[in-house]
A = this chain, B = another copy of it.
C-alpha cells in the first residue's frame, strides 16, 4: 500500500491506496492558518496516520507517501518555497524530510496540480484522451497539459494556465501581475473581491456562512451554498470566474487543438458537471472551430484526485516519469 497527501490552501486530504489505486483509508483536516510550515507538517502527519489506521495499517508499513504541494516544489529535495496560500511559507522548507522523519517511510513531493492531473490521466476523466488540459479551479487556478498521453513539462514549469492574461490591464492578481485568469477565478482573489464589495456596502451571505461554519476562509462549500441560495454577489463572482475560465480554455484549444478539457480543483469538484457545462458554454463564442469543440468533463476522482495522484508518486509506472516539477 501507498500513502498520498494533497496539501491544499484550505484542507489536507490524506489517503492510503492499494496496488490498484483503490482508496482503503482516508482522512481530512483543515490546513492550519498559523504556526508556519511546522504546524502544517504536523497536521499532514496526523491526517496520514488517521488514513493509515482506517486502512488497518501503519505509516511505517507503506511503500512510501507522496505529497502534492502548492508553491515552488523542488521534487529532487522535497523542499517547498513560496507557498503563498499557506501560513508563513515563503522561505524553503524541507517538507519531504520532515514528514519522512515523523512517518518512518520514504516521502516524495510533487506539484499539487501536476499529481492530481496525472491521476486523472491514468485513472480518471483523462484516461480516454491522447491530449487534454486539466484546469484545477480552487484557491488558485493551476493546470497541466497532456500531449500524446504525457504531461508536457517544457523547461520544468509548464502548466500555469492560471497566469494566462485574459484581460489586458485587468484585475490585479495575487501574484502581483494584471489580468491573470487567477485574478478572476481563483478562490483567494474572489474572496478578496467579495470582502471589498461588502466594505462598499454590498449585501451577501458569504461571510455569514463562513462564521456559521466556523471557517476562516470562504471554502468551496460556502461558495456553492451561497450560489444555490441565489446570493447576488456570489452568483456574480462565480459567473465572472466561469467567463474567464471559458476564455482561457478556448484560447488553449485554439492554440493546441486538444481533445478534451478536464475541470478539477476544489471549486471545480464542488460545482461538478454544472461547472463543466457552463465552462463549455463560455468557451463556445471564443472557439475558432466551434463545430469541433473539445469534450469538457469534470475530474472523475473528484476530491480524491490530489491524494490518489500524490500516492502515485510511488506507483511503479509513474515514479520514473515524475521529473522536476516546479
Task: Check if B168 sits within 8 Å of A256, measured CB to CB.
Answer: no
Q: 0/1 per residue, A147-173, Cβ < 8 Å to B? A: 100001111111111011111101000
B residues within 8 A CB of A286? 163, 165, 177, 179-180
A255 at the interface (CB under 8 A from B): yes
Considering the chains assembled together, what is the distance between the CA atoms of A168 and B250 in angstroms? Answer: 12
Q: Which residues of B contact A154 (CB under 8 A)?
A: 131, 256-258
A39 within 8 A of B: no
Contact present for B288 and A163 (CB under 8 Å): yes
Say yes or no for A285: interface residue by CB 8 A criterion. Answer: yes
Q: Chain B residue with minimal CB distance to A246?
A: B165
Residues of B within 8 A of A289 (CB): 157
Whether A237 sits at the interface, judged by CB under 8 Å, is no
Task: Determine whether A251 belongs to the interface, using a CB cutoff of 8 Å to chain B.
Answer: yes
A153 neighbours in B (Cβ, 8 Å)? 257
A155 smallest CB distance to B (angstroms): 5
B285 in contact with A178 (CB, 8 Å): yes
> CB of A145 within 8 A of chain B?
yes
**For A175, what are the chain B residues with a Cβ–Cβ distance below 8 Å?**
288
B residues near A247, Cβ cutoff 8 Å:
165, 168, 179
- Given A157-B289, A288-B175: A255 and B164 interface contact (C-beta under 8 Å): yes
Given A166-B165, A166-B168, A168-B244, the answer on whether A288 and B155 have CB atoms closer than 8 Å is: no
CA gap between A70 and B300 in the complex, in Å: 40
Chain A interface residue count, CB cutoff 8 Å, equals: 44
A111 to chain B, nearest CB (A): 13
Count of this chain's copies in the oligomeric assembly: 2
A258 vs B256: C-alpha distance in the bound complex, in angstroms? Answer: 14
B165 touches A168 (CB 8 A): no
Question: When the two chains form their complex, are residues B160 and A255 in contact, meaning their CB atoms are under 8 A apart?
Answer: yes
Complex Cα–Cα for A257 and B155 (A): 6
Contacts of A254 in B (CB 8 A): 160-161, 163-164
CB neighbours of A143 from chain B (8 A): 255
**If A165-B248, A286-B163, A288-B175 touch, does A157 touch B243 (CB 8 Å cutoff)?**
no
Asked if A90 is at the interface (CB within 8 A of a chain B CB), the reply is no
Q: Decide if A259 is an interface residue (CB 8 Å cutoff).
A: yes
The smallest C-beta distance from A74 to any residue of chain B, in angstroms, reads 14
For A180, what are the chain B residues with a Cβ–Cβ distance below 8 Å? 286
A128-144 near B? 1/0 per residue, CB < 8 Å: 00010000000000010
Besides A163-B254, A251-B251, 4 other A-B contacts (C-beta < 8 A): A154-B256, A157-B288, A165-B166, A180-B286
Could you pull out 7 A-B pairs where Cβ atoms are within 8 angstroms? A147-B147, A155-B258, A159-B255, A164-B251, A167-B170, A178-B285, A179-B247
